[in-house]
Structure 1
Amino acid sequence: MPQRLPVLVCLLSLVVTTAMADEPTSFTNPVYSENMPDPGVLLHEGTYYAFGTTGDERMPDGRIFRVLTSTNLIDWKEQGGALAPPIADTKKQYWAPEAAYDNGTFYLYYSVGTLDDLRFEIRVATSESPAGPYRDNGVALKEGANAPFFIDGHPFLDDDGQWYFFYAKDFLDTDGGARAGTGIVVDRLLDMTRLAGEPKTVVRPRYDWTLFEADRVMPMLGGKKFDWHTIEAPWVVEHDGKYYCFYSGSNFGTINYGVDYVVADSVTGDYHDQGQYARVLRGVPNLVRGPGHHSIVRTPDGSTDVAVYHAWDAKMTRREMCIDPLVWTRFGPRCVGPSVSPVDLAR
């Protein structure tokens, strides 16, 4: 029997190698052509789990947040909804789900609120399985300034094992050249459901390209009008000893919407090098509209960073899920896209 062991090992190696060789590496966007806004992607034990915004709609199983799975980032399978709506009010909007794994438990962070007064909070749900179903823990995350608009939570695990939480909130002042609007903040997590209450500003809008709407009426501020700018959807990557906080900016329904970044030497900043335009990913007239609100993950072989993002279909009836390689250049990170023709991730 022992003399057969090398043969068995060779056969197993051949099976694994053949399976990996059979995985497709070429794709054409969109990789998922149904509605999949704000794709938050978690890689766990060789499977990618993508969670998408469902707004005030429900999946056929009655849950919220569409769940897709893939082993190669190209072929995606539907898994139903992630979370039973924790609030009976059917007017509630559910946005921007993103999952994290810690110590045997999966955590789903998401935003919930109403459009009539633009008041949103971030809540947390847990599950023993990455695809769910998740159960809301009944408590909203709190932050130091008690922001009425509190969205797009992004958990980040640093090298020392400490979790941090990036999120978007509103600012009204224009100190130091900042624009009134939505910006990004970071806080330390005491545990996976509690913030330290020490929020620090990461990035705020400063340039024209991030304009969401001129003379925007803000109902939660008594109907006051602002030239409102938006920076949202943080996603953090550590690369060559520096921390890159990627974000989406501008109005998600326009050609101006896209992805930029700021960079720092530590996870809490100070962050700098904000772009005067969307340097990483931006729309292409008559081809791609509104690419953004992305995740960044590695290919299965670990060789390439990939942005997973949404972009509008031609009729602007849904936001489809797309992917493109992310390249680290001497000028900073740049996305190879948004692509509309075949791309090979293996190149």
Structure 2
Amino acid sequence: MRILISVLLAAGLWAQGQRTAFEPGAVWPDTDGKPIQAHGGGILLHQGVYYWYGEDKTLGNFNRTGVAVYSSKDLLNWKREGLALPKDGVPELFRESGVCERPKVLYNKRTKKFVMWMHLDDQPYAVASAGVAVSDRAVGPFHFEGYSRPVKFDFGYPEKDRTNQKELGGTYRDMNLFLDDDGRAYAFYSSEDNWTMYVVRLNAEFTGPELPVVQGKTWQRIMVKDQREGPAPFKYKGKYYLFSSACTGWKPNRASYAVAENILGPWTVKGDPSVGPEAETTFRSQSTYVLPAPGKRKDAFIFMADRWNPEKLQDSRYVWLPFVVQPGDKIELKWADRWDWSVFSK
């Protein structure tokens, strides 16, 4: 044991029993020593505590466990709080052979409720809908409210559309939530069978789209026919930024980011932010969230991504990398085997 502690101290990963540095791509244990299961996840900061929600893949693919939640005060050491939304908390269609993917949570100051959105689907990926659940506590349990597709829009449906978009609205798959400075919330998601990204303003309760749904006012199509998924939005100096990936299934691909003055667009694609070895696969990972780095710097952020292992999804890893927004909206993502908060003071 003494030898192990000495090794961890030398690596900068142990301080009085705690991790002190990020190690992208490595197994990330929780405070009980078990690998964190929060894939496709997102972070909520509430009253000084970070909550990490994500898919629990302990039993492999599909929704066989549910949405897990972890808490932390330093983003390094995470305590498992349990299942915020167990598999039995959603309709049977989305359990076992269905999916409950990319859960994200916002806190509504007006209603004092925690609101979770997720992508729900059956095994053929034909239901492709947004699920909504609500809780009085950050750690849950969340109560399932229902599922639907937020926007109906005739973009030119194919004659034989297996997802019934003409009747039900555009498909809802890879998604994220964004809370703006004015208190308005938005959902970003891959729609039109993953061909086009949608941005939709939510209602005052954050439980559905703002009504009436009006293109150009409450929602918009962005990155039209670009086939982007894994949306990860953030804001800096009044501008909106959006990381995304291409649509290649479990296989990693080249990331891209776009910038806009208005959240509904127009969005300008800036290209791939990754530099260095394995940049062409975003370091073998896919974007899931962007988190402002704690501290005084306003230009510092953390890029959160998943390194999927389709053969053993429970062993999928997390790739968290630091970056800053440089003048001219320039962003560079660089690989680091290990990093700590000092990187932002260099």
TM-score by length of 1: 0.73
CA change 1:156–1:119 in 2 (3 A) is same
Deviation at 1:98, TM superposition (A): 0.3
- Give 2:23's aligned amino acid: T
Q: Is the 8 A contact 1:46 1:300 kept in 2?
A: no
Q: Is the 1:204–1:231 Cα contact (8 Å) retained in structure 2? A: no
1:127, CA displacement in angstroms? Answer: 0.7
Q: In structure 2, what is the equivalent of residue 27 of structure 1? A: 22
For residues 158-185 of structure 1, what are the alpha-carbon distances to aligned partners after superposition, in whole Å with 9 as ceiling and x for unaligned? 22222222221025xxxxxxxxx43211
Distance in 2 between the 1:289 and 1:24 partners? Answer: 23
Q: Residue 268 of structure 1: CA displacement?
A: 1.1
Paired amino acid for 2:195: T
Going by fraction, where is strand more abundant, 1 or 2? 1
Counterpart-to-counterpart distance in 1, 2:64 and 2:138: 19
Letter in 2 for 1:121: S
Match of 1:295 in 2: 289
- The 1-side partners of 2:142 and 2:115 are apart by 8
Correspondence for 2:164: none
Name 1:129's counterpart in structure 2. Answer: 137
Counterpart pick for 1:170 among 166, 188, 192: 192
Name the aligned partner's letter for residue 194 of structure 1. G
Which whole-Å CA distance do the structure 2 matches of 1:161 and 1:286 have between them? 36
- Correspondence for 1:194: 208
- Runs of at least 5 residues in structure 2 that lack an aligned partner in the other structure: 1-15, 29-34, 154-167
Percent sequence identity over aligned pairs: 22
Structure-2 change in CA distance of 1:264 and 1:289 (3 Å)? closer
Residue-pair matches, total: 288
2:339 corresponds, among 325, 343, 347, to: 343
Check conservation: 1:309, 1:323, Cα contact below 8 A: yes
Q: Measured at CA, do residues 189 and 312 of structure 1 come closer, stay the same or move farther in structure 2, by a change above 3 Å?
A: closer
Q: CA RMSD in A?
A: 3.1
> For 1:346, what is the secondary structure of its paired residue?
helix
Distance in 2 between residues matched to 1:267 and 1:302, nearest whole Å: 25
Structure of larger gyration radius: 1
4+ runs of 1 displaced by more than 4 Å?
21-25, 280-283, 285-289, 313-317
Q: Please show how residues 1-347 of structure 1 align to structure 2 within 5 Å.
A: 25-29=20-24, 30=26, 32=28, 33-54=35-56, 56-59=62-65, 64-84=66-86, 85-89=89-93, 90-103=96-109, 104-145=112-153, 146-147=168-169, 149-170=171-192, 181-191=194-204, 192-196=206-210, 197-198=213-214, 199-206=219-226, 230-256=227-253, 258-275=254-271, 278-280=272-274, 284=278, 290-303=284-297, 304-312=300-308, 317=313, 318-330=315-327, 332-339=329-336, 341-347=337-343
Displacement, 1:112?
Answer: 0.8
Change in Cα spacing, 1:255 to 1:231, as seen in structure 2 (3 Å) is same
Distance change in 2, residues 1:189/1:50 (3 Å): same
| Structure 2 counterpart of 1:77, one-letter code | K
Q: Please state whether the residue corresponding to 2:324 is helix, strand or coil.
A: strand
Residue identity opposite 1:321 in structure 2: Y
Check the 8 A contact 1:280/1:333 in 2, yes or no.
no
Q: CA deviation at 1:26?
A: 2.3
